[in-house]
Amino acid sequence: YIDPRWWKESVIYQIYPSSFQAHPGSKNSAKVGWGTVKGITSRLDYLKSLGVDIVWTSPIFKSPQADMGYDIAHYKEIDPIYGSVADVDELIAELKKRGMKLMMDLVVNHTSNMHPWFLESRSSKNNPKRNWYIWKDPKSRSDTATPEPPTNWAQILGEANSAWTYDTETAQYYLSIFTPDQPDLNWENPEVRAAVWDVMKFWLERGVAGFRMDVINMISKVPSYPDAPIVLDPETHKYQPGTQFFVNGPKLHDYLREMHDEVLSRYDTITVGEMPGVDSEDEILRTVGADAKELNMIFIFALVDIDKPNVRMALKDWNVQEMKQIISRWQNVMIERNGWNSVFIENHDNPRSISRYTDDSDEYRDKGAKLLALMQTTLGGTLFVYQGEEIGMRNAPMEWDPYEYKDIETINYWKKCEAIYKDDPQKLALGRKVIQMKARDHARTPMQWSDAPNAGFCDADTKPWMRIMDDWKTINAKAQMEYASNDELSVWQFWQRGLKDRKEHKDVFVYGGFEELAKDDPNVYAYVRTSEEGEKWLVVLNFSGQEQTWQIPTKNDVEFWACSTYQKGRPDKQTSGIITLRPWEGVLGKVS
């Protein structure tokens, strides 16, 4: 028996390594400021003081960086741009000194097209590694240079393009559901699976505590490879979403159980599977149920996909009611069905949470950031904080030109907009709006450490690989850690308080019961968390820019208010009857 409490109670901080911290004097001949492993190590005291237990690094392995490291060319080497394996050993040792751990990103649905496995695989039809990837003949033989791909599936990070890439040498297509630089591995092949288990053991043996597993629910494809139904306008979309043929495919659970038997069961690990596009409770419980023997938890995307229609780079209206339903649903499911979930609202693939769920204007930016912090630190599950979230970083503004954006998905999207909407200024403006609201780049601007040159992210004489947000002089970690006011805490201090509180009352906040109140209120999200011993806390969150009144149900009369997003110390709000909440105000009360 392995005691699961450590990974349930841990606070995990996701680092986007290129944008976290370049260590001083990091040798970079091109004078480009780029985060490094040594840079991460230099910030461990910062993370410790915030209340972090586990650091998760997005991929730092050898990679051509076509998709910022989610295209790996060597699983056991660190990309020189980040440092070396020795630097990772040092990072693990320094974490250990502080009672912390390292979680790495395991990207094994696909490799880079420059991975030696793929170079071999593509070299000829009878190469022994041919069957390590998914090769198919074109749909119809024709004399044209590029015949029809085997199916009509669209690429995920470039929806205008096919999910298949043609190789003229061998006249076959390979499957590349994200981009042509990321060929999908063929998990049907036991040699591929053995190679993955070997990579996992390599890092576990070095002291890595576990993995976040990139799109792990896409590793099993429907073997008949059918065409996808037409759901996007065929006038503008030659290719259609093929997700139903590879999201939670037929052999997913076989593969995950094999991974468990071959690797995970032999170590005391933490595992979180990235699983976009799955909504079925039964299906999710098969992976995260207490006896499932698959993964500890997954990322459920319902909340971050609340404004996603059928493609990612597009807009959709949503309201607070829907948000409340999504959050409460998964809180309840995991409790009722004995599963385990992750709590997160940001990551490197999503815009900043205050720009999406609250109000990122100067007036309310910090209030919204604290509101979301209060919510997340009081929800059940393992909590994930994303770099910069703890200081309330926000989306890049509308004024930024599309060329400031560096992400392959954004670039593909903007190219498409320019090609098809070149004579339609309105549609082009809409395209820019989509980028400003949805681009993954918003989470990837360099971390704002201080008001020093380049926000303390990289040396003054280097140029950051991506533009730093113009607000860094006012919004930065140092200013927020040192912030002194009799009236309120900074966003950073509020997070620190919340994480501490969560740990002190973990029987309530990590493990406790969950009851939603006033479900019909269109603006206020309220819930009660209860420990088995009967300790009870009330959380009331005003998700609107207007003042709201809220009736405390008599059975939940408050003994004292422990905090408000507006006030330092104990707010003197009334403890029963109707309370008034200021715009974006959240309060936490001990129920008597």
Q: Which of positions 161-180 make contact with ligand TEU (CB under 6 A)?
A: 178
Asked if residue 181 binds ligand TEU (CB under 6 A), the reply is no
What 3-state class would DSSP assign to 526? strand
- Annotated catalytic, 254? no
- Which residue among the candidates 67, 214, 349, 521 is catalytic per the annotation? 214
- Which residue among the candidates 184, 274, 501, 585 is catalytic per the annotation? 274
- Annotated catalytic, 214? yes
The answer to whether the CB of 159 falls within 8 A of the CB of 313 is yes
Pick from 37, 40, 66, 107: which binds ligand TEU (CB under 6 A)? Answer: 107
Asked if residue 215 binds ligand TEU (CB under 6 A), the reply is yes
Q: Which of positions 531-590 make contact with ligand TEU (CB under 6 A)?
A: none
Interface pattern 247-266 for ligand TEU (x via CB under 6 A): --------------------
Asked if residue 159 binds ligand TEU (CB under 6 A), the reply is no
The answer to whether the CB of 428 falls within 8 A of the CB of 417 is yes
Stated length of the chain: 592
Query: How far apart are alpha carbons 508 and 244 in whole angstroms?
Result: 38
| The three-state (H, E, C) secondary structure of 318-374, written as one string | CCHHHHHHHHHHHHHHHHHCCECCEECCCCCCCCCHHHHHCCCCCCCHHHHHHHHHH
Number of residues that bind ligand TEU (CB under 6 A): 16
Pick from 203, 245, 301, 525: which binds ligand TEU (CB under 6 A)? Answer: 301
User: Which of residues 212 and 370 has its CB atom nearest to ligand TEU in the complex?
Assistant: 212
The answer to whether the CB of 288 falls within 8 A of the CB of 339 is yes
- Give the side-chain half-sphere CA count within 13 A for 8: 18
Interface pattern 336-355 for ligand TEU (x via CB under 6 A): ------------xxx-----
Phi, psi of 36, deg, nearest 5: -135, 165
Pick from 167, 305, 451, 557: which binds ligand TEU (CB under 6 A)? Answer: 305
Asked if residue 70 binds ligand TEU (CB under 6 A), the reply is yes
Which of 402, 394, 342 minimizes the C-alpha distance to 364?
394
Segment interacting with ligand TEU, rule: CB under 6 A, options 1-9, 304-312, 472-480, 522-530: 304-312
The answer to whether the CB of 445 falls within 8 A of the CB of 396 is yes
Asked if residue 214 binds ligand TEU (CB under 6 A), the reply is yes
Amino acid at 510: V
Asked if residue 304 binds ligand TEU (CB under 6 A), the reply is yes
Asked if residue 357 binds ligand TEU (CB under 6 A), the reply is no
β-sheet bridge partners, residue 166? 173
Segment interacting with ligand TEU, rule: CB under 6 A, options 7-15, 161-169, 301-309, 369-377: 301-309
Where are the extended beta strands (E) located within 74-208?
A: 74-78, 101-106, 135-136, 164-167, 172-175
Q: Which residues are designated catalytic?
A: 214, 274
Q: Which residues bind ligand TEU (CB under 6 A)?
A: 67, 70, 107, 156, 178, 214-215, 274, 276, 301, 304-305, 312, 348-350
